[in-house]
């Protein structure tokens, strides 16, 4: 009868015990750089009554159920979360109220909150009110720059050192994105000049109008936080519409053009030399000491024989007076020698006249 009266009282005590808050002391928040390790000292409390049962401890991510895989545990019968296997370790002994957690080779995915759970005999308790916050930081990584024409949807991802040709009159929109924790500060520069962002709330956006694109050169996006920095540079050059339609000339094409030009120049020079030579040939210098053709004919008119012979020679060699400007002019020189030998009897011999004709062309 007495036991029946004490049973409700015992149940009420168990409910109060279950609702009792057991504190846990741990360093929080915890900040660790990506790739490094950190130890989180931890101590927890439990009911005063002692138990000889082994104590098992578990670390879970925030929101996990007791049936989910823990990130670290000393219970060898439980599988741990694959993402944290071998990197998260429960260093403390839950039997001595030690719940120290070790994290090595920290990753950005490790960022979050974790709570501790203990099971020892009839005592099973989750310290959800005392969670440990882990913050994994990293230097700027995976910096990318995408370019799109104006406000167009099409975009192209550029690498560091890329060269970009822009048509005259075209506008561009450059977007710089980076992964970092804590967030990196983004900035744009043109050469040594820092550019004011097109959108102050989004400094990674740089909008270039046609007037801005008149200045060719190197544009650089830089991402920087307390852990490091990263940058991407690209070269912009203007291209006229005519040049873009014609397309670039290859080295072979340029060499062929230069060769054809040199050959044409040599042929032209040779033609000019021929023209000069022909011009000089059509206008030869007049021999010194010669008169005009009338003078020659006058000097031969002393004897009908000589004149007849001279006319025959002239007609034979084509020395007639030119009738056309296209005909070449020929010149003849006549020399007369008068010889008067004496007769043996002292009588003068008959007069004979001799002539010497030389033709010059």
Percent of the chain residues past pLDDT 70, beyond the cut: 60
pLDDT band for position 315 (cuts 50, 70, 90): very low
Is 338 in a helix, a strand, or coil? strand
Q: Looking at beta carbons, which pairs linking 320-325 to residues 24 or more positions away fall under 8 Å?
A: 321/293
Return the closest-CA partner of residue 60 out of 100, 115, 127, 99: 115
Considering Cα of 105, then 110, then 116, then 119, what sign does the dihedral take?
negative
Rounded Cα distance, 81 and 112, in Å: 15
**DSSP secondary structure letters along 174-186:** EEEEEEEESPPEE
| Statement: residue 310 has pLDDT above 70 | no
pLDDT band for position 255 (cuts 50, 70, 90): very low
| Statement: residue 335 has pLDDT above 80 | no
pLDDT band for position 267 (cuts 50, 70, 90): low
pLDDT digits (tens, 9 = 90+) for 91-143: 999 999 999 999 999 998 999 999 999 999 989 999 999 999 999 998 888 89
pLDDT digits (tens, 9 = 90+) for 176-217: 999 888 889 999 998 888 888 777 888 889 888 887 776 678
**pLDDT higher for 32 or 279?**
32
Rounded Cα distance, 221 and 219, in Å: 7
DSSP H helices in the chain: 2-19, 241-246, 251-282, 293-299, 304-316
Task: Supply the pLDDT for residue 104.
Answer: 95
**pLDDT higher for 283 or 315?**
283
The residue count of the chain comes to: 361
Percent of the chain residues past pLDDT 90, beyond the cut: 35
Task: Supply the pLDDT for residue 239.
Answer: 77
Is 167 in a helix, a strand, or coil? strand
Is 238 in a helix, a strand, or coil? strand
Distances (CA, A) of 360 to 47, 215, 279, 329: 145, 76, 19, 10
Average pLDDT over the chain, rounded to an integer: 73
| Statement: residue 242 has pLDDT above 50 | yes
DSSP state for residue 270 in the 8-state scheme: H
Report the DSSP beta bridge partners of residue 44.
24
Cα-to-chain-centroid distance, residue 135: 38
In order of start, what are the domains of the chain with their CATH numbers? 18-130 (2.60.40.10), 139-244 (2.60.40.10), 293-360 (no CATH)
Strand-pair category, 24-26 with 123-126? unpaired
Return the closest-CA partner of residue 185 out of 167, 204, 168, 166: 204
Average pLDDT in the 12-33 region?
Answer: 75
**pLDDT higher for 254 or 280?**
280
Task: Supply the pLDDT for residue 328.
Answer: 52
Q: Looking at beta carbons, which pairs linking 317-322 to residues 24 or more positions away fall under 8 Å?
A: 317/359, 319/359, 321/293
Cα-to-chain-centroid distance, residue 205: 20
- Which helix H or strand E contains 221, and what residues bound it? strand 217-225
Return the closest-CA partner of residue 90 out of 99, 81, 82: 99
Contact (Cβ atoms closer than 8 angstroms) between residue 157 and residue 146? yes
Task: Supply the pLDDT for residue 356.
Answer: 52
Is 101 in a helix, a strand, or coil? strand
Task: Supply the pLDDT for residue 176.
Answer: 93
pLDDT digits (tens, 9 = 90+) for 43-99: 999 887 767 889 999 999 999 998 999 999 999 999 999 999 999 999 999 999 999
Distances (CA, A) of 253 to 243, 244, 258: 16, 17, 9
| Statement: residue 3 has pLDDT above 60 | no
């Amino acid at each position: 009868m007495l036991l029946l009266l004490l049973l409700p009282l015992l149940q009420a005590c168990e409910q109060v015990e279950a609702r009792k808050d057991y504190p846990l002391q741990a360093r929080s928040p915890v900040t660790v750089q990506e790739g490094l390790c950190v130890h989180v000292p931890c101590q927890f409390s439990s009911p005063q009554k002692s138990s000889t049962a082994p104590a098992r401890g578990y670390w879970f991510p925030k929101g996990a159920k007791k049936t989910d895989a823990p990130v670290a545990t000393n219970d060898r019968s439980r599988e741990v979360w694959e993402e944290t296997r071998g990197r998260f370790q429960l260093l403390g002994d839950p039997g001595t109220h030690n719940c120290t957690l070790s994290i090595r080779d920290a990753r950005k995915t490790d960022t979050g909150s974790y709570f501790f759970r203990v099971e020892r005999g009839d005592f099973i308790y989750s310290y959800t009110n005392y969670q440990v916050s882990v913050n994994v930081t990293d230097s700027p990584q995976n910096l990318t720059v995408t370019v799109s024409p104006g406000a167009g949807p099409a975009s192209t991802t550029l690498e560091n050192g890329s060269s970009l040709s822009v048509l005259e009159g075209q506008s561009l929109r450059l977007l710089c994105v980076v992964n970092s924790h804590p967030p990196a500060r983004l900035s744009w520069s043109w050469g040594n000049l820092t550019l004011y962002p097109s959108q102050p709330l989004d400094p990674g956006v740089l909008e270039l109008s046609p007037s801005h694109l008149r200045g060719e050169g190197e544009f650089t996006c830089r991402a920087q936080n307390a852990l490091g920095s990263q940058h991407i540079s690209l070269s912009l050059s203007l291209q006229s519409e005519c040049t873009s339609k014609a397309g670039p000339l290859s080295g072979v094409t340029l060499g062929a053009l230069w060769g054809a030009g040199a050959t044409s120049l040599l042929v032209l020079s040779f033609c000019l030399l021929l023209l000069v030579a022909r011009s000089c040939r059509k206008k030869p210098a007049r021999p010194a000491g010669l008169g005009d053709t009338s003078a020659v004919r006058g000097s031969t008119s002393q004897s009908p024989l000589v004149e007849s012979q001279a006319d025959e020679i002239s007609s034979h060699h084509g020395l007639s007076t030119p009738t056309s400007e296209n005909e070449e002019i020929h010149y003849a020189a006549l020399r007369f020698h008068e010889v008067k030998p004496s007769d043996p009897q002292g009588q003068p011999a008959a007069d004979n006249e001799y002539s010497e004709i030389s033709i010059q062309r």
